[in-house]
Amino acid sequence: MWRGLETGSRVPRQSSTLPPKPPSARNRPGGPGPVLDTALGPGAANPPLVGRSAVAKAAALLEHPTRSRALAGRLARCTPAAAAVVRFGGVTRDEIPTPALLLDLDRFERNLVRMAAHVARHGKSLRPHAKTHRSPEIARRQIAAGALGVAVAKLGEAEVMAAAGIRGLMITTEVVPPDKIDRLVRLATQAPDTLVVVDDASNARDLSRAAAAAGVVLGVLVDVDVGGRRTGIAPGEPALALAREVVSLPGLRLRGLQGYAGQCAHVVGWQARREASRAAMAPLGDTRRLLERAGLAVEIVAGGSTGTFDIDVEMPELTELQSGSYCVMDIDYRRIGGRGGASMTEFETALTVVATVVSVPTADRAMVDAGLKAFSTDKPFPPEAVERPGIEYSFAGDEHGRLTITDRDRAPKLGERIEFLPPHCDPTINLYDRIWAVRGRSVEAVWDVAARGRSD
């Protein structure tokens, strides 16, 4: 039954008939994207991959009952198009070959609804960052929950998403090499609403020449450095000069600004994080006003993170959030604290790695089949066993994890399966070909991590 999966082969692609499209969502000028209370069409013919119960309960967070019904219905009817999906009947999570990446659908769906409610309540839009999951199926569900589209870090991710039918793409890293500019122009013919960022006039001119030659128009955001010391032009006059350059070039259309304050995302303590984020993002707001005084239209001001999701909405100049990890969460975000306490509990940890105990050589030590190749290793803390007090994980090699047993009464047994929270969700997901979507003990679907490794 599992032979193809155990050998690492891709999950077979399943053809499916797409459900009737719901009526087009109205857009509020300068405000949120799809209006959540848009009337929806008839249900899909295919069985839903997202259950109604959890979504309907979580949708009570929305302020309007019509919005609740609409959002729950959109999620429930979300069906696959181009992404690889396999449905299962009667298969349980105990039959999944380990190590494997699991997504708790009930928690995941509640996270989607909570974020949708949050941005709608504050008059913002959401374009979640798909570098977190690299999965068209997850992107599809985020859009069904009201997102404008998804942000991606790299052109390769955008190509995968576009091939799967995802639109509303924003590439948040500059596209500079000539071969990638050629690919970007081809992508724009397939997904013409794709947005790209620039922080250099020469790059803007290169994009202009390629776009004009191909007869396409690229939507451009000026990338502004808001203290992260990564990409981005200086705010203020330098950003204005670049924006004017973009406006003057054929094949380009200035859409707005991007400013990502990644240095603030994991500041521990909500109040400290709020102060850091507000200080970092203030120059972005000033730059928007500068451009508008110069007569330049600024439709989009994008930024934000999961760590600052409830802080950046206070910024009137910001139009859309790029939070990504909120949909699955991890140990790192949980540890930074939330508005209400020392642990960030606004979103639930929906992602786990399941491993099998393959050796119990001593009374105080056990080994599992998930090591350095099963988890991200960029954080100073290890994976955590879920609901298993009395054991502590440490890395013991590429394919082994060591469990130090501190409570022998709860010692794991040979062959036992244990789930772990990953330290950092984004690079952990990138280690796997597929995500096992589970509800309770049952496997509902397997989703391809189709953009895995697409850092090109």
Over the stretch 132-144, which tens digit does the pLDDT of each residue have?
Answer: 999 999 999 999 9
- Position with higher pLDDT, 121 vs 8: 121
Looking at residue 9, its pLDDT comes to: 31
Which tops the pLDDT comparison, 29 or 93? 93
Domain enclosing residue 185, as ranges: 105-327
On whether the CB atoms of residues 394 and 402 are closer than 8 A, the answer is yes
- Tokens 């490794």 correspond to what residue? 453
Nearest to 265 by CA among 222, 311, 331: 311
Q: Which two tokens stand for residue 172?
A: 């948040």
Instruction: Write down the pLDDT at residue 110.
Output: 98
In a domain, 387, yes or no: no
Tell me, what DSSP letter sits at residue 411?
A: P
Give the whole-angstrom CA distance, residue 334 versus residue 266. 10
pLDDT at 168: 98
Is the pLDDT at 448 greater than 80? The verdict is: yes
Residue-level pLDDT at 438 = 98
Q: For every residue of 5-51, which 3-state class applies, written as one string?
A: HHCCCCCCCCCCCCCCCCCCCCECCCCCCECCCCCCCCCCCCCCCCC
Please, what is the average pLDDT of the chain? Answer: 86
**For residue 14, how many other CB atoms are within 10 A of its CB?**
12
Model confidence over 275-293: pLDDT tens digits? 999 999 999 999 999 999 9
pLDDT at 161 over 60: yes
- Determine, yes or no, domain membership for 264: yes
Residue 85: the pLDDT is: 56
Taking residues 9-29, report their average pLDDT. 32
223 and 258 Cβ atoms separated by less than 8 Å: yes
Tell me, yes or no, whether 313 lies in a domain.
yes
Tell me if 298 is assigned to some domain: yes
Work out how many domains the chain is built from and give that number: 1
In a domain, 88, yes or no: no
439 lies in a domain?
no
Contact 151, 346 (CB under 8 A): no
401 in any annotated domain? no
DSSP assignment of 260-285, as one string? --GGGTT-SSHHHHHHHHHHHHHHHH
Which segment of 26-35, 267-276, 348-357 scores lowest on mean pLDDT? 26-35
358 CB-near residues (< 8 Å, 6+ apart):
367, 368, 369, 414
pLDDT exceeds cutoff 80 at 203: yes
End-to-end CA, the chain: 34
- What CATH number did the domain enclosing 320 receive? 3.20.20.10
Q: Which of 80-94, 359-373, 414-428 has the lowest mean pLDDT?
A: 80-94
Residue 357 lies in a domain: no
pLDDT of residue 360: 98
Average pLDDT over residues 301-306: 98
